[in-house]
Structure 1
Amino acid sequence: MTGVWVLVGVLAVSVVLGFALRAREGRVRTGTALAALPAQVRELIDPGSAVTLVQLSTTFCAPCRHTRVLLADLAERTEGLRHRELDLTDLPEVAAQLKVLRTPTTLALGADGAELLRVGGVPKREVLAEALRPHLPA
C-alpha cells in the first residue's frame, strides 16, 4: 500500500512541475544586467537597428527551428528590428556568461548591447511584439 501512495505523490509532483514549466514557456522577462557581452554576441548586434533579436540555439533543438521562423518573420515585418542566431553547441562558455539554461533563448539587445528583454523557450509572437514596441521607432 505504501508503494501506491509513493506513486500517487510522485505523479502529483510531476503534474505540478509540468504545469509550472508550461506557464514559463515563452514568457518575456526584462533584461538582466550583464558585466560584458561575449564577443560572439557583440558581433551579431546590428548598430543600424534599434533592437537585435539574438536567438541562442543548439544543433539538435527542435523548438529552435520554430523560433527561427517566428523571429525571422517578425523582424522582416517590423521596422528597426533584426534577427540573428548563435549556435551554442560548441560554446558552453558563452552560455554560462549569458546565464542561458535552455534553448531556445532569445535576447533582445539594444544597439548599444544592453539586454532589453529575454525569452526562454518559443516566444509568443503577439506578446513579444508588444514587449518590443517601446524599444522600436514609432
Structure 2
Amino acid sequence: MTGVWALLGAVAVVAVVGLVLRAREGRVRRAAPRAVAADLPGPVRDLLDARTPVTLVQLSTAVCANCRRAREVLADLADRTEGVRHVELDVTDLPGVARDLGVMRAPTTIALDPSGGELLRVGGVPRPDALAAALRPHLPHSNG
C-alpha cells in the first residue's frame, strides 16, 4: 500500500509542476534594466539596429519544438508593427550566449532597445496580444 501512496504523490507533484510551467508559458516578464549594448554577448549585440526602437531577439536551438511557432508569432508581430524588428539567433553552438543572458529554455525572446537595454523577455511561445501590449510604450506613435 505504501507504494501506491508514493506513486500517487509522485503523480501529484508532476501535475503541479506541469501546471506551473504551463501557466508561465508565453508570459511577458518585464526585465531588470541591462546597462548598454556593451554588456551584451557579441552575437546579440551584432543584431541590434540603432534605427529600430525594439528588436525582438528570439533565442532558439536546433532541437526546439516550439521555436517554429514562436518565429511565426514574432515575424507576424514585427511585420504589422512599426518600430519592431524580429531576428533569430540559434544558440545551439553558443551556450555561453545563453548563459550570459540567463536563458534556461528555448525559445526565449528578449526585447531590446537600440542601446541594448532589455525591455522584457518571454519564455516559450509569446502570446501575441500580451506581447504587443507590453511593447506599445516603447514604440513610436505610442500613447503608452
* Residue aligning to 2:13: 13
* Residue aligning to 2:3: 3
Secondary structure, counterpart of 1:116 in structure 2: strand
Matched, 1:126 2:129: yes
Taking the aligned partners of 2:9 and 2:31, their CA distance within structure 1 comes to: 37
* Residue aligning to 2:84: 81
* Residue aligning to 2:107: 104
Taking the aligned partners of 1:84 and 1:106, their CA distance within structure 2 comes to: 10
Taking the aligned partners of 1:111 and 1:12, their CA distance within structure 2 comes to: 45
Taking the aligned partners of 1:54 and 1:63, their CA distance within structure 2 comes to: 15
Taking the aligned partners of 1:76 and 1:18, their CA distance within structure 2 comes to: 33
Unaligned runs of 5+ in 2: none
Taking the aligned partners of 1:34 and 1:59, their CA distance within structure 2 comes to: 27
Taking the aligned partners of 1:120 and 1:131, their CA distance within structure 2 comes to: 14
Query: RMSD in angstroms over aligned alpha carbons?
Result: 0.9
* Residue aligning to 2:42: 39
* Residue aligning to 2:68: 65
Contact 1:34 1:98 in 2 (8 A): no
Taking the aligned partners of 1:6 and 1:56, their CA distance within structure 2 comes to: 38
Secondary structure, counterpart of 1:62 in structure 2: coil
Unaligned runs of 5+ in 1: none
- Identity rate of aligned residues, in percent? 63
Taking the aligned partners of 2:56 and 2:131, their CA distance within structure 1 comes to: 11
Report the AA paired with residue 107 of structure 2. P
The alpha-carbon deviation at position 108 of structure 1 amounts to 0.3
Secondary structure, counterpart of 2:79 in structure 1: helix
TM-score of the superposition, structure 1-length normalised?
Answer: 0.97
TM-score of the superposition, structure 2-length normalised?
Answer: 0.93
The alpha-carbon deviation at position 104 of structure 1 amounts to 0.2
Task: State the number of aligned residues.
Answer: 138
Contact 2:34 2:116 in 1 (8 A): no
Taking the aligned partners of 2:139 and 2:87, their CA distance within structure 1 comes to: 17
The alpha-carbon deviation at position 34 of structure 1 amounts to 4.0
Cα deviation digits, residues 43-89 of structure 1 (max 9, x gap): 10121111000000001112001111110111010000000010000
